Chain A
Amino acid sequence: MLLVLSDEHKEHLGFLPEVDSAVVGEFGRIAVEFLRKGTNPKIYEGAARKLSVDAETVQHGVEGLMYLLTESSKLMISEVDFQDSVLVLGFTEDLNQLLLQLYLENRKEIRHILGELTPSLPHYHNLEWRLDVQLASRALRQQVKPTVTMKLHLEESGGDKSAKVLQTDPATLMHLIQELEKALAELKTTHCRRILRNIK
Chain B
Amino acid sequence: MRFRFCGDLDCPDWVLAEISTLTKISSVKMKLLCVQVLKDLLGEGIDYDKVSKLTADAKFENGDMKASVAVLTFILSSAAKHDVASESLSSELQQLGLPKEHTTGLCKSYEDKHIALQEKLRESSLRLGRLEGVSWRVDYTLSSSELQEVNEPTVQLCLQTQGAETGNTETTIVSVSADKFRVLLTELKQAQAMMNALQ
Stretch at the interface among A80-88, A157-165, A177-185: A157-165
User: Nearest-CB distance from A163 to chain B (Å)?
Assistant: 5
A129 within 8 Å of B (CB atoms): yes
Complex contact A130–B167 (CB within 8 A): no
B198: chain A residues at CB < 8 Å are 135
Complex contact A165–B128 (CB within 8 A): yes
Complex contact B165–A130 (CB within 8 A): no
Complex contact A129–B165 (CB within 8 A): no
CB under 8 Å from chain B, chain A span 91-137: 128-130, 135-136
Q: Which listed residue (A135, A136, A141, A149) contacts B126, Cβ 8 A?
A: A149
- Number of B interface residues in the complex (CB < 8 A): 12
CB under 8 Å from chain A, chain B span 107-140: 125-128
Q: Which listed residue (A136, A138, A149, A162) contacts B165, Cβ 8 A?
A: A162
| Shortest Cβ distance from A135 into B: residue | B194
- When chains A and B are docked, how far (Å) is the Cα of A130 from the Cα of B166? 18
User: Nearest-CB distance from A179 to chain B (Å)?
Assistant: 22
User: Nearest-CB distance from A144 to chain B (Å)?
Assistant: 13
A151 within 8 Å of B (CB atoms): yes
Complex contact A130–B125 (CB within 8 A): yes
Q: Which listed residue (B127, B164, B166, B194) contacts A136, Cβ 8 A?
A: B194
Complex contact B165–A163 (CB within 8 A): yes
- When chains A and B are docked, how far (Å) is the Cα of A124 from the Cα of B164? 18
Complex contact B126–A164 (CB within 8 A): no
B187 within 8 Å of A (CB atoms): yes
Complex contact A151–B166 (CB within 8 A): no
Complex contact A165–B165 (CB within 8 A): yes
Q: Which listed residue (A135, A163, A164) contacts B167, Cβ 8 A?
A: A163
B194: chain A residues at CB < 8 Å are 135-136, 141
User: Nearest-CB distance from A132 to chain B (Å)?
Assistant: 10
- Main secondary structure on B side of the interface with A: loop
Complex contact A151–B126 (CB within 8 A): yes
Complex contact B187–A138 (CB within 8 A): yes
User: Nearest-CB distance from B40 to chain A (Å)?
Assistant: 18
Query: Per-residue CB proximity of A143-181 to B under 8 Å, as 1/0?
Result: 000000111000000000011110000000000000000
User: Nearest-CB distance from A142 to chain B (Å)?
Assistant: 10
Q: Which listed residue (A135, A141, A151) contacts B128, Cβ 8 A?
A: A151
Known: A135-B194, A136-B194, A138-B187. A128 touches B165 (CB 8 A): no
A151: chain B residues at CB < 8 Å are 126, 128
| Shortest Cβ distance from A128 into B: residue | B126
- When chains A and B are docked, how far (Å) is the Cα of A136 from the Cα of B198? 12
A165: chain B residues at CB < 8 Å are 128, 164-165
User: Nearest-CB distance from B50 to chain A (Å)?
Assistant: 28
- When chains A and B are docked, how far (Å) is the Cα of A150 from the Cα of B191? 24
A141: chain B residues at CB < 8 Å are 194
CB under 8 Å from chain A, chain B span 139-195: 164-167, 187, 191, 194
- When chains A and B are docked, how far (Å) is the Cα of A141 from the Cα of B128? 23
- When chains A and B are docked, how far (Å) is the Cα of A6 from the Cα of B164? 54
B167: chain A residues at CB < 8 Å are 163
B164: chain A residues at CB < 8 Å are 165
User: Nearest-CB distance from A1 to chain B (Å)?
Assistant: 42
A163: chain B residues at CB < 8 Å are 165-167
| Shortest Cβ distance from B197 into A: residue | A135
4 pairs of A and B residues whose beta carbons are closest in the complex: A128-B126, A130-B126, A163-B165, A165-B164
Pairs across A and B, CB under 8 Å, 25 listed: A128-B125, A128-B126, A129-B126, A130-B125, A130-B126, A130-B127, A135-B194, A135-B198, A136-B191, A136-B194, A138-B187, A141-B194, A149-B126, A149-B128, A150-B126, A151-B126, A151-B128, A162-B165, A163-B165, A163-B166, A163-B167, A164-B165, A165-B128, A165-B164, A165-B165
